[in-house]
Amino acid sequence: MAHWALGIGVVLVVLLSRRGPAWLRLVGAPEPLSMPVAGLRARDVVSTWHAPRSGGRRHQGVDLFAPSGTEVRAAASGTVWKVGHDALGGQVVSVLGRGPTLYYYAHLDDWAEGLAVGQRVERGALLGHVGNTGNARTTPPHLHFGVYRWGWAWATAVDPAPLLKARRTAPGR
């Protein structure tokens, strides 16, 4: 069912659906992704999407467990948006891909040498290494991988598990 709203010369189409955010279908879902953790395969992905977390939060990503120091590679091509630290993610990298879609890599042990904001990275480029920084200090090493689809004024988290399982390729391919 479509609803139309008219205001100040702008027509806004809002589609209501039981199959999830309809605007994602309008602008196109994020592309299928390469596995961002070296040595893991699609069948290794266990979705913990929206699992309860501390402070009333919900998990907005997938945790990909691997030994500390395992390579983390770009799941999709894009431009480095952030190389830094945040309280929950610890050492993080964010890459803005097509769509526009933001790919969030958290709990890194370190970043790839020379990685910088504004740098273009291709699918498979080294971003850093698996760790357990931020709120993952007491957990086994893993990459928290998040996918966020930008809307008109906000970002909506998208479950990365189906996107990782959509393409069965070697890391970085």
Query: What pLDDT is recorded for position 17?
Result: 35
- Residues 51/32, Cβ–Cβ less than 8 Å: no
CATH of domain 31-165: 2.70.70.10
pLDDT tens-digit series, residues 110-142? 999 999 999 999 999 999 999 999 999 999 999
**CA–CA separation, 2 vs 120, rounded Å?**
38
Give the burial string for 24-54 (b: 16+ CB within 10 Å, else e): beeeebbbebbbbbbebeeeebebbeeeeee
Residue in this structure with the two tokens 């809307």, named with its chain if needed = 151
| In the chain, domain spans | 1-28, 31-165
Say whether pLDDT at 20 is over 80.
Answer: no
What is the pLDDT at residue 9?
Answer: 30
Write down the pLDDT at residue 18: 38
Considering the chain, what percentage of its residues have pLDDT values greater than 70? 78
Measured distance CA(65)–CA(38) in Å, rounded: 11
